[in-house]
Amino acid sequence: MFRTALRNVLAHKARLLMTVLAVMLGVAFVSGTLVFTDTFGSAYKNKSAKSFDHVSVAVRPDGGSHDNDGQEAKQTPRLTDALLGKAKELPGAESAIGAYSGFTAVADKDGKLVGGEWGTTGANYYPGKDGKDPRYDFAEGRAPKSGADIALDSRTADRAGYEVGDTVRYSTDGPVKTAKISGIFDTDDGSVVAGGSLVVFDNDTARKVLGKSEYDEIDVKAAAGTSETALKSAVEKLLPKDTEAETGASLKDEQDRMIEQNTSAMSQVLLIFAGIALFVGIFIIANTFTMLVAQRTKELALMRAVGASRRQVTRSVLIEAFIVGLVAAVAGFALGIGVAVGLESLMNAGGASLPDGPLVVGPTTIVVALLIGVVVTMLAAWLPGRRAAKIPPVAAMNSVHASPTTRGLVIRNTIGSVIVALGVVMLFMNDNYVKSGGAATILVGVIVLTPLLSRPFIAAAGPLLKPFGVTGKLARLNSVRNPRRTASTASALMIGLTLITAMTVIATSLGSAINKMAADSLKADYTVSMANYQPLSPKVRADLAKLPDVEASSPLRSTWGEADGTSTRITGVDPKSFGKLVSLDYTSGSAAGFKGGSVLVDDGTAKKKGLKAGDTVPVKFDDHKTVRLTVAGVYQSNEMLDGLFTPTAVVDPHLNKIADQQVLLKMKDGVSDASEDAVVKALGDNPAIKIQDKDDISNEIGGAINLILNMLYGLLAMAILVAVLGVINTLAMSVFERKHEIGMLRAIGLDRAKIKQMVRLESVVISLFGAVLGVGLGLFLGWVAGDSISGSVKTYTMEIPAGRILLFLAIAAVVGVLAAVWPARSAARLNPLQAIKSD
């Protein structure tokens, strides 16, 4: 049977081309993802491993009292110079250094932020016995020696065009400072490798500008002959309370695990979309083998007549699928390596600065790629193989292709109806997870029912085809001739458009909800914050409050604590100005009583604790100290304003370092270019600080949503491409199957142009059928998802992006026209006499 199967594959290689391409693209996506993430992870592990060369044992705070807003509760310093000195004197210790680390933004020569918002780091230079810090290898110049000097990593210097001796503007917590570059160094720091920047100060300056009361870490290097374990035991005897010691090996392992987690998460996201592309490809494979089986009815019947069993016929079809899958998998794997290289180049072009390293092609990737290609193809061909086995030997006497029976469609429609009914019942449940399952169930049911839905849809499209005359009528009749085939072809396109439409609806609705939230919650004209929302110096608010254009201002100084035992955010504000800057809906009390010793409580906390205006509530801060505050009012919280609000005078005594997350500004003349210019000038034209009005906030969040949406569009493009191949494949095989019919049409006067038009219209009808179903299901999924989202985002309401949906339908029509180019040309080129003679 293998020889027979091989001959059949070679005989029908042109008709199997699209199937090979569909599987190949899916496998390329999978193997490319695996190769890229393996290469990415390996390069980062090798690069980061070097950063632990100077660390035998590291001493770090054990947990600590840092809250989610970056604020520190008051506490006694632990990693002090005294502890560092003791570590240096330990038997078996060669050297020890103290490390500071914190946010430091650098401006380039054009005044723009270098290194992005999230990878901008500042650190200290701690000279060892030899006067050098082993973390930094200077390529030019020297280490910084005073507050007038800084050193820059070589990648940042190259990007910004800086050289030794240049003056640089930088900021750590708001106010702009300047310093000269004393040196440029190479480093294996992970944030720099990922595209960030690293600024190094001398030790004393770093402590001051980064606002440190203790070291973030103390690194001890073992002397020759001393093991890390032995040194760790010695270090542990020195440790104060709430600190821990880790060996360099364990830190490296921890870093490797973190890298693996990050690359695994990236890989999983990409593989989901690769899986979607492969799932869409299953429809093409099944359609191809179904049509091949139908076209080879006489051949298969003859095999049965000469003694082949049903099992052998099925096996023959599956062997063909195995050969096709293997060829596609090998080609897909080779293409996948190119995909991995392309992904790396794309990320580097986007400023990611991936570390250099060899391409990693592991045996697991090879096995997975080959298995996926073969297994997916054979699974998709299994049902056509079973149908082939049911062809009776007497069918060899017929000269026509087998036509599908209605019995199978009846069974399919019944199963689909039951699945949809089950999904509808699940939608009426109160549990959001059950509702989501119901939506997925309905989606599956509709896919099963697609043959049934094809007839009424295509019938409804009849009036649109009338202007095309007989070719329009023929296109309509051909589209409904085989509902299974039409459904299978349309389903591939439908799945991609369902996901795209659902994501577009959710993104559009979420963007509108955020706009409404910003408009309803803020009276302030501007918010001022650090580029990556690191804490701001209180000096920023003080400087801004002095501006004659500012009517009111308040810091948002957040920390975490407990309100009568319930964990909550606690934000210190200016009670005199706060009511002019935010819009709160009070369910109890008002802003009138908000003053020293009082607190505004969100409705969620108030409901849990039974609080109302006038009540007293114990508030425990992160330094474990409790104060009793009077509830001035209870307000309705949202995603922008929640938790407790109390005067800064209440919060400040419990913070290790006083700093603000944001500053709110109300201008006398409102939002204007002049007002914004005044604020920018007061802040020293600082690239590290963001000044945003309500539209800027909405645009920033909307931009992030659109970026994610565009990335998802790109990832789903593979599934759409596979679906297009399915349309081409079905039309091409349909033309081959209908050679006799097309020859007859040519013989009775239908010219080549009309034949082409007929095939193109058929393609457009099938594509639009899939697109309309996909858009409809996408809107439905968007509605179901929105029902869950509205429970947590109070301003969320479903919005239908009509413009984009019409664009999707237009693109589907264009796809139909383009997909028909090759099949239509093939049909038009058929020789009428030879076509009539074919059977």
Quick: pLDDT tens for 771-785: 999 999 999 999 998
Residue in 356, 427, 372 with CA at minimum distance from that of residue 34: 372
Cα 503 to Cα 266, 446, 710, 781, 785, distances in angstroms: 19, 19, 10, 9, 10
Task: Give residue-wise pLDDT tens across range 593-611.
Answer: 899 899 999 999 999 999 9
DSSP 8-class letter at 662: E
Q: What percent of the chain has pLDDT over 90?
A: 37
Chain centre distance of CA 577: 39
Q: Residue 482's pLDDT is what? A: 80
Between strands 167-171 and 217-222, the pairing is unpaired
Non-local CB neighbours of 14 within 8 Å, separated by 6+ positions: none
Strand partners, 125: 202
d(CA 522, CA 341) in angstroms, rounded, equals 47
How far apart, in whole angstroms, are the C-alpha atoms of residue 768 and residue 814?
Answer: 10
Per-chain mean pLDDT for the chain: 86
Q: Give which of 660, 646, 577, 654 is closest to 621, Cα–Cα.
A: 654
The pLDDT, as a whole number, for residue 70 is 46
pLDDT at 306 over 90: no
Tens digit of each residue's pLDDT (9 = 90 or more) over 557-603: 999 999 988 899 999 999 999 999 999 999 999 888 899 899 999 99
pLDDT tens-digit map of 140-178: 999 999 999 999 999 899 989 999 999 999 998 888 899
- Identify which of 682, 653, 652 has the alpha carbon closest to the alpha carbon of residue 665: 682
Is the predicted pLDDT of residue 537 greater than 50, yes or no?
yes
Please tell me the predicted confidence (pLDDT) of residue 721: 83
pLDDT of residue 395: 57
pLDDT on residue 383: 81
**Is residue 824 a contact partner of residue 756, using CB atoms and an 8 Å limit?**
yes
- SS3 for 681-723 is HHCCCCCCEEEECHHHHHHHHHHHHHHHHHHHHHHHHHHHHHH
Q: Which pLDDT score is estimated for 174?
A: 82
Residues 6+ apart with CB under 8 A from 320: 5, 8, 9, 289, 381
* pLDDT mean over 669-676: 90
Residues present in the chain in total = 839
For residue 353, what pLDDT band results from cuts at 50, 70 and 90? Answer: low
Q: Give residue for tokens 């005199």.
A: 576
Residue 792 Cα distances to 519, 582, 788, angstroms: 18, 21, 8
Q: What is the DSSP track for 433-446?
A: HHHHHHHHHHHHHH
- Mean pLDDT, to the nearest integer, of 784-803? 85
Q: Specify the higher pLDDT residue, 259 or 74.
A: 259
Interval 610-624 mean pLDDT: 92
pLDDT band at 664 (very low <50, low <70, confident <90, very high): very high
DSSP 234-278: HHHTT--TTEEEEEHHHHHHHHHHHHHHHHHHHHHHHHHHHHHHH
Confidence of residue 620 (pLDDT cuts 50, 70, 90): very high
Asked which of 52-56, 80-84, 341-345, 678-682 is least confident by mean pLDDT, the reply is 341-345
Angle at 717 between CA 714 and CA 722, to 5 degrees: 160
Residue 501 pLDDT greater than 90, yes or no:
yes
Structural contact between residues 192 and 114, judged by C-beta atoms closer than 8 angstroms: no
3-class state of residue 665 by DSSP? strand
Residue 112 burial by Cβ neighbours in a 10 Å radius (0-12, 13-18, 19+): exposed
Which among 277-281, 313-317, 658-662, 700-704 has the top mean pLDDT?
Answer: 658-662
Q: Encode pLDDT of 391-411 as tens digits.
A: 777 655 554 455 555 666 788
